[in-house]
Amino acid sequence: MATSIGQNVLIVEDEFIVANDLEMMLDRAKYRIVGIASSVQEALVFIDKQKPDIVILDIMLQGQQTGIELAKMLANMVIPFVYLSANSNPGTLEEAKATHPYGFLVKPFREKDVLVTLQMALYRHAHSLETCIRKEQSLKIALYDIFSQRGEWKQKMQELNQLFDPFIPHDYLFAGLINDQDVFPMLGVSQIGRDEYQHIGVTELAGLSGFSVQELGLILPDFFLVNSGICQGSDFGSLKSSNKFVDLLAGTLRFGASLVYQLQLSQGLVFLISFFRRQSDGFHTEHLALLERLKEPLMLTIDRRIAFEEIDKLRKRLEEENHFLQEEVKTNIEYGEIVGASKSLSEVFKKIEQVSAIDTSVLILGESGTGKELVARSIHNRSPRKNKILVKVNCAALPPSLIESELFGHEKGAFTGAIERRIGKFELANGGTIFLDEIGEMPLELQARLLRVLQEKEIERLGGKDCIKVDVRIIAATNRDLEKEVGEGRFRLDLYYRLNVFPILLPALRDRKEDIPLLADFFGKKLCRKVGKPFRGIDERAMIDLLQYQWPGNIRELENVIEQAAIVGDGQGLLTLGRQLINKAIEPGGAQGSTSGGGPKTLLEIKQLQQQTEREHILTVLKKANGRIRGKNGAAELLNLKPTTLESRMEKLGISRSNI
Ligand SMILES: Nc1ncnc2c1ncn2[C@@H]1O[C@H](COP(=O)(O)OP(=O)(O)OP(=O)(O)O)[C@@H](O)[C@H]1O
């Protein structure tokens, strides 16, 4: 029976002597009097502040309202109350009865009667159906809150354990989703003291039982086969002998009874919640019935949680994609067009044109700084995949230990530090293109995995069991001589053949000197704009130096030289070089380079070369624009010139429509 110790009582009585008597009486019986109110209004203030466990109330009170009206409010607030009245008028009694009081005491009262009535009322209230419903309602709300909020699943398990304890007393709670996603992995929690918990999941159980996590992982699926229901006494014994996981769990933690409940969610997922007790008769059918009643709200909230986790994952992916896209936008603006009109570069353009639309792998070869990345982007931007993502991976910049997870992703726990699942660049590039820069630096073991992706078009995350289909176009680039690498055993021959379906060889800048004036002009405009100075052209002496230099760093080096010139220049006259360019012997290490030296020597030769280059460039662009000068995609727009300026340049260079 409920005990009086510490129970809060509110007395609602307008006769001072009666109220005082009651107060002394209840005080002796160890109740706590939270207040004495003489009107309904006063009573409501006490109720609001003190939250009494029970109210003793008179019917006739000070003020407009009677105790009966207060009783109706108390019923709504689920606070038990007992009438104390001298009023035995049948009409009033009927009215009072209709409020379903927990007792009715007639004045004058005996101490014993008051105390027994209060005890009975408190006991009945604690077990009344209404209270149960209310408690269950708050359980549902609390469950909803647990699953709605983001946060650590371990913490959620602790809360779940605490919530269920008053409804289904237990020693251990084991719950989770049976699925291949790690939305809510199987976790266990055991209460070891007041507000003290121990998490005993599969890892901890392995430690306690002496089995390895892998061994436990093998028998865990046995547990998923246990049907919903209570198992205790001899039934629990049978369950142990037929189910290896239950046997190990019960043996390690000394359990004698279980209550398992499986909840079928949408998309074929199952939420499993199970309770264990040390005693062998701890569970009742009403516990199972409670879980049945919670089924619907639990299903809805867990489904919602899964949906949220999915959204979180997608958002994360979008953030990652967005990061790449921003890089894309930045680089797109920076790169603009591929500048050059030399014969060798025209060959490259032709190849880009040929291969872009075909969904084949491309291997771009060339010394460092020759524009391999620019070509890769250009192929992607002209391909049917142009609206999808282009993901760049620099194989040389990643530590070998990370390349694999960077490319293929990893599952949570795949290695130390893999605290959550991460998708790799291949998955990220799905539907688009992956640009594997410096492919020659890829470790041999990974080359085998890459070959599999190329052949089977599927990847496997590190630590994962399933293969994931990916639709990715591969563009690889290297400044190494891959044939030599193959010969020396550093690159797989089969992979080389796979990648080398369509090779594009970028010429070294020293082998297409005629592009230097155009490039210098292009970078001069771009970089002067960047540093906020006008560009008035390149000084003739500077141009001779540029043309005579051998450019071991190729276009990247030229860009740097012009940038330096733009920075140090005063912005008043023609651009002069900020430093001297000294030719050193070119290392044969530069993959496909040759060292043909000797550019134009005299100013006249330079002028002629410049004009020739400009003529070729304009012709190339005119061809690209199908001979159109004006309008959208016309040659003037492509060259960023006014149509009239272009026409006068054409006239000066002797270009007529018949040349196109
Ligand atoms: N034809 C070109 N027209 C304009 N700019 C170019 C051209 N080729 C290269 N560049 C510029 O030169 C720089 C180097 O180019 P890119 O990074 O594409 O070279 P890469 O061959 O990929 O170099 P690495 O092998 O070192 O990665 C970039 O800033 C790029 O914009």
> pLDDT tens digit string along 474-484?
999 999 999 99
Contacts of 412 (CB under 8 A, 6+ apart): 182, 418, 419, 420, 421, 463
- DSSP state, 507? P
What would you measure as the largest C-alpha separation in the chain, in angstroms? 129
pLDDT given for residue 595 in this prediction: 37
Helix axis angle, 129-148 relative to 111-127, nearest 10°? 40
| pLDDT band per the 50, 70, 90 thresholds, residue 76 | confident
The answer to whether residue 118 scores a pLDDT higher than 90 is yes
pLDDT given for residue 182 in this prediction: 52
Among 119-128, 145-154, 208-217, 269-278, name the one with the lowest average pLDDT. 145-154
| pLDDT band per the 50, 70, 90 thresholds, residue 387 | confident
Closest ligand 1 atom, residue 478 Cα: 25
pLDDT given for residue 394 in this prediction: 86
Q: Which CATH superfamily is domain 336-505 in?
A: P-loop containing nucleotide triphosphate hydrolases (3.40.50.300)
Q: What is the pLDDT of residues 407-435, one digit of tens each?
A: 888 777 656 555 566 778 888 888 899 99
Mean pLDDT, residues 258-272: 87
| pLDDT band per the 50, 70, 90 thresholds, residue 603 | low
pLDDT given for residue 597 in this prediction: 43
Retrieve residue 519's tokens.
């490039």
Q: Which residue has the tokens 């997922």?
A: 269
Instruction: State in Å: Cα 19 to ligand 1 middle.
Output: 94
User: Hey, is 35 helix, strand or coil?
Assistant: strand
Mean pLDDT, residues 436-445: 90
pLDDT given for residue 326 in this prediction: 52
Instruction: State in Å: Cα 79 to ligand 1 middle.
Output: 79
| pLDDT band per the 50, 70, 90 thresholds, residue 310 | confident
Instruction: State in Å: Cα 351 to ligand 1 middle.
Output: 17
Pocket of ligand 1 (CB under 6 A): 335, 338-340, 366, 368-374, 437, 479, 555-556, 559
Share of the chain above pLDDT 90, in %: 38
Other Cβ atoms within 10 Å of 631 Cβ, number: 11
One-letter amino acid at 232 equals Q
Instruction: State in Å: Cα 431 to ligand 1 middle.
Output: 26
Mutate to test the pocket of ligand 1, among 339, 518, 556 (most ligand atoms within 8 A of CB): 556
Closest ligand 1 atom, residue 479 Cα: 25
Q: Are 549 and 513 in contact (CB under 8 A)?
A: no
Q: Does domain 132-308 have CATH number 3.30.450.80?
A: yes
Residue 150: closest CA among 274, 322, 311: 311
Instruction: State in Å: Cα 335 to ligand 1 middle.
Output: 8
pLDDT given for residue 594 in this prediction: 37
Closest ligand 1 atom, residue 370 Cα: 21
Instruction: State in Å: Cα 613 to ligand 1 middle.
Output: 20
Mean pLDDT, residues 40-53: 92
Q: Closest residue (by CA) to atom 18 of ligand 1? A: 371
Among 2-6, 292-296, 358-362, 641-645, name the one with the lowest average pLDDT. 2-6
Closest ligand 1 atom, residue 336 Cα: 4
Mean pLDDT, residues 452-466: 81
Domain chopping of the chain, boundaries? 8-127, 132-308, 336-505, 509-624
Mean pLDDT, residues 504-519: 94
Greater confidence (652 vs 185) lies with 652
Do 8-127 and 336-505 show the same overall fold?
yes
**Burial bucket for residue 121 (CB in 10 Å: 0-12, 13-18, 19+):** buried
Instruction: State in Å: Cα 264 to ligand 1 middle.
Output: 56
Three-state DSSP string of 265-294 = CHHHCEEEEEEEECCCCCCCHHHHHHHHHH
The top-scoring range by mean pLDDT among 203-207, 507-511, 630-634 is 507-511
The answer to whether residue 52 scores a pLDDT higher than 90 is yes
pLDDT given for residue 17 in this prediction: 92
What CATH architecture applies to the domain 509-624?
A: Orthogonal Bundle (1.10)
pLDDT given for residue 331 in this prediction: 43
The top-scoring range by mean pLDDT among 153-167, 234-248, 406-420, 565-579 is 234-248
Among 141-145, 190-194, 469-473, 647-651, name the one with the lowest average pLDDT. 190-194
The answer to whether residue 604 scores a pLDDT higher than 80 is no
35 - beta bridge partners?
10
d(CA 62, CA 11): 14
pLDDT given for residue 185 in this prediction: 72
Instruction: State in Å: Cα 610 to ligand 1 middle.
Output: 22
pLDDT given for residue 5 in this prediction: 66
What ipTM was reported for this prediction? Answer: 0.97
Mean pLDDT, residues 150-160: 83
Mutate to test the pocket of ligand 1, among 364, 381, 516, 555 (most ligand atoms within 8 A of CB): 555
Instruction: State in Å: Cα 68 to ligand 1 middle.
Output: 89
pLDDT given for residue 593 in this prediction: 37
Among 60-74, 97-111, 316-330, 375-389, name the one with the lowest average pLDDT. 316-330
d(CA 332, CA 312): 29
Mean pLDDT, residues 581-594: 51
Tell me how many helices (H) and strands (E) the chain has: 25, 20
Q: What is the pLDDT of residues 325-367, one digit of tens each?
A: 555 444 443 334 789 888 899 899 999 989 999 999 999 999 9
Q: Which residue pairs, CB below 8 angstroms and at least 24 apart, start in 452-461?
A: 453/426, 454/361, 454/495, 454/498, 454/499, 455/498, 459/408, 459/409, 459/424, 459/426, 459/427, 460/408, 461/408, 461/409, 461/410, 461/411, 461/414, 461/421, 461/423, 461/424
Q: Closest residue (by CA) to atom 12 of ligand 1? A: 556
* Torsion, Cα of 532, 537, 542, 543 (10° steps): 130
One-letter amino acid at 242 equals S
Instruction: State in Å: Cα 561 to ligand 1 middle.
Output: 14
Contacts of 438 (CB under 8 A, 6+ apart): 394, 395, 396, 397, 477, 478, 479
Q: Closest residue (by CA) to atom 28 of ligand 1? A: 556
Instruction: State in Å: Cα 435 to ligand 1 middle.
Output: 14
Closest ligand 1 atom, residue 334 Cα: 31
Closest ligand 1 atom, residue 371 Cα: 18
Instruction: State in Å: Cα 25 to ligand 1 middle.
Output: 95
d(CA 637, CA 354): 24
Closest ligand 1 atom, residue 335 Cα: 31
Mutate to test the pocket of ligand 1, among 348, 370, 436 (most ligand atoms within 8 A of CB): 370
Fold annotation for 8-127: Rossmann fold (3.40.50)
Q: What is the pLDDT of residues 122-146, one digit of tens each?
A: 988 877 766 777 788 888 888 888 8
d(CA 419, CA 80): 51
User: pLDDT averaged over the chain?
Assistant: 84
Q: Closest residue (by CA) to atom 8 of ligand 1? A: 371
pLDDT given for residue 591 in this prediction: 38
